[in-house]
Structure 1
Amino acid sequence: MPLKVGFIGVGEVCRCLAPAMEQRGVEVAGFDADAAKAAAGGIRLLPLAELIGWADYVLSTVTVSQAVIAAQSCALHLSPGKVYVDLNSTSPEVKRRIEAIIAAPGADFVEGAILGAVGVSGARTRILTGGKKGRIAAETLAQAGLAATFYSEETGKASTFKMLRSVFSKGLEALILELLIAGRRAGIEEDLWADISEFMSGHSFDEVAGNWVRSHGPACERRRDEMAQVNEVLRGIGVEGLMSEATEAFFRRSTELGLRKKFPLKAASTGEVVAFLEGRLR
């Protein structure tokens, strides 16, 4: 018998994952409260109760604000033996709340965390699973064509990984946009993009990020002063430097915490710097 997967929400995630699953012989259908979006999704649609009764696995891919509401609606039709995988980008606390909702009718809950942009990497996008049924769910979804891997039996761990990873991905997105807005205002947007693209293409992330962290101690005061000048320039061209002002404040805090005194020279490892800052911030 082929695996039957029902998507709750037929937006980008569903549209990107469903074709790969169908290529593996999985039967896919969906439900979306937004009729217009549902019609444009190209996915076979079923009423909610019928979809849940039909599916072996129910994958929730709604908006963050609708994750709990979707779980509550689905719980009215779930029964023992059904597997509900919440793939929404919510906090660990929300995941645990959804787990309780899904467990009430006796269904199995699986925490899911999508890492990366499905619009770019499609079904190759890494998915972490968690919870008591997380391991078998990861194996099942991997066989169904998704890049699913088991992370932890403790519900909330995979979401913590996802949320903290977003400090990097979403923060970098905001930083890049601030750079490009300022670059356009100054008439050098393309030059900045080309320079940074060339630099990042020529060095590994480990090399660049590792050097920044290990040199944070001896350089934090100098970098603080440089960022003060950067913010002066941004104000001069009429750009609100939200990210740049936060960066200046971060370097100022590191200076005040005595990081330079602790590390007058580049640290031997990134872990030493992180451990010192984490300890001082307790």
Structure 2
Amino acid sequence: MPPIVAVIAPGMMGSAVAKRLSTAGLEIRTLLAGRSAESRERAAAAGMRDVAPGQVADADFILSIVPPGQALGLAERLAPALRAASRKPIYVDCNAVSPETVLRVAHVVRETGAGFVDGGIIGPPPEPDSSRTRIYLSGPDAGKVALLERYGLSMPIQPGPVGAASAMKMSYAGITKGFTALGATMMLAAMRAGTADALVAEMSVSQPQLLKWLTTQMPRMHGKAYRWVAEMQEIAAFVGADRPGAGLYEAAANLYEVIAADVAGPREETKLLDAFCDKARTA
């Protein structure tokens, strides 16, 4: 019998994952209480059905796909329903959190009697014709969750205990999103100093691939910056507070916080970043 899957919540990533599974014929449940009209529209388009927490707990698998700062809170919110469920699901935390945070989430879930698997998503929201999105899994029950590969997801198992998949995610995001923060910092500095044209000209000759990568990623970052603040803080924790590199990610968190506020307000920083990218495209 096909498994029932709960996906929380219907953000861009969650709804795309849900759509892959619903298109393959699975019943997808979610929670829409307090969600915006836009979220409800995404959920409907993805084939997600709004249910009560008890019906979420009655699913075979629960995929938690929320901003990193909400990962622990979601587990705590669902704990009473999980505790009351007669047939326990496997709860998969797919969020960009440190191994330490995922162990705290696992403790909350396991106390209810439910199973727990650590997950880490790498890649964009999955599309029907794309295999670029992988949900790494770790922990003793990872193989049970990998059953969902039959329904359109790519779910490689990361060897190791709960925390191994999150460590993989932190390592990868620390490079890609950390590098995006570094690029944004220098783009903004060059625009303010009046050296952007010279920088673009030099990079077009000496670092063309790097320039293309940065200017492709930068516009995509603007709308995600608010979610990346907590993610950078989680990466800093993963690096270790006593390690000098942790400060890089605390600074990146501060940058993304500024960008997020700018997106919601004057859009001064984002206009400068867009202007730099425009220079690169026309160089």
TM-score tier (shorter): 0.5 to 0.7
- After superposition, residues 185-200 of structure 1 pair within 5 angstroms as 185-187=192-194, 189=196, 192-193=199-200, 196=203, 199-200=207-208
State the shift of 1:192 in Å.
3.9
User: What SS does the aligned partner of 2:158 have?
Assistant: strand
Instruction: Give aligned-pair identity as a percent.
Output: 30
State the shift of 1:194 in Å.
6.7
Letter in 1 for 2:66: V
Letter in 2 for 1:162: K
**How far apart, CA to CA, are the structure 1 residues paired with 2:190 and 2:198?**
8
**How far apart, CA to CA, are the structure 1 residues paired with 2:12 and 2:201?**
30
Q: Deviations over 1:148-190 (max 9, x none)?
A: 1100241111112222222211220111112221232244546
Q: Which runs of 4+ in 1 moved over 6 A?
A: 119-123
Instruction: Say which of 126, 133, 157 aligns to 2:134.
Output: 126
Instruction: Say which of 68, 83, 86 aligns to 1:64.
Output: 68
User: What SS does the aligned partner of 1:151 have?
Assistant: coil
**How far apart, CA to CA, are the structure 2 residues paired with 1:30 and 1:191?**
50
CA contact (8 A) 1:133 1:153 kept: no
Does residue 92 in structure 1 map to residue 99 in structure 2? yes
Does residue 50 in structure 1 map to residue 55 in structure 2? yes
**How far apart, CA to CA, are the structure 2 residues paired with 1:122 and 1:32?**
27
State the shift of 1:51 in Å.
2.5
CA contact (8 A) 2:6 2:61 kept: yes
CA contact (8 A) 2:126 2:133 kept: no
* Structure with bigger RCO (C-alpha 8 Å, 6+ apart): 2
RMSD between aligned residues: 3.0
State the shift of 1:191 in Å.
6.2
Letter in 1 for 2:16: C
Q: Deviations over 1:205-245 (max 9, x none)?
A: 9xxxxxxxxxxxxxxxxxxxxxxxxxxxxxxxxxxxx97xx
State the shift of 1:57 in Å.
0.9
User: What SS does the aligned partner of 1:147 have?
Assistant: coil
CA contact (8 A) 1:132 1:154 kept: yes
CA contact (8 A) 2:98 2:163 kept: yes
User: What SS does the aligned partner of 2:95 have?
Assistant: coil
**How far apart, CA to CA, are the structure 1 residues paired with 2:25 and 2:197?**
46
Tell me the TM-score normalised to structure 1 length: 0.63
Structure-2 residue corresponding to 1:40? 41
Residues matched between the structures, number: 204
Distance 1:182 1:88, change over 3 A: same
Distance 1:26 1:95, change over 3 A: same
Structure 2 portions without partners, runs of 5+: 214-246, 252-283
**How far apart, CA to CA, are the structure 2 residues paired with 1:119 and 1:181?**
31
Structure-2 residue corresponding to 1:24? 24
**How far apart, CA to CA, are the structure 2 residues paired with 1:186 and 1:84?**
50
CA contact (8 A) 1:134 1:153 kept: no
Letter in 2 for 1:64: P
CA contact (8 A) 1:38 1:45 kept: no
Structure 1 portions without partners, runs of 5+: 206-241, 247-282
**How far apart, CA to CA, are the structure 2 residues paired with 1:189 and 1:130?**
44
Does residue 163 in structure 1 map to residue 164 in structure 2? no
Structure-2 residue corresponding to 1:13? 13
Q: Deviations over 1:7-43 (max 9, x none)?
A: 1221121122122212222221211443215423233
Q: Deviations over 1:242-272 (max 9, x none)?
A: 97xx9xxxxxxxxxxxxxxxxxxxxxxxxxx
**How far apart, CA to CA, are the structure 2 residues paired with 1:23 and 1:151?**
26
CA contact (8 A) 2:126 2:132 kept: no
**How far apart, CA to CA, are the structure 2 residues paired with 1:108 and 1:21?**
21
Tell me the TM-score normalised to structure 2 length: 0.63
**How far apart, CA to CA, are the structure 1 residues paired with 2:202 and 2:49?**
46
Letter in 1 for 2:30: G
Q: Which has the larger radius of gyration?
A: 1
Distance 1:8 1:69, change over 3 A: same
Distance 1:49 1:91, change over 3 A: same
State the shift of 1:117 in Å.
3.6
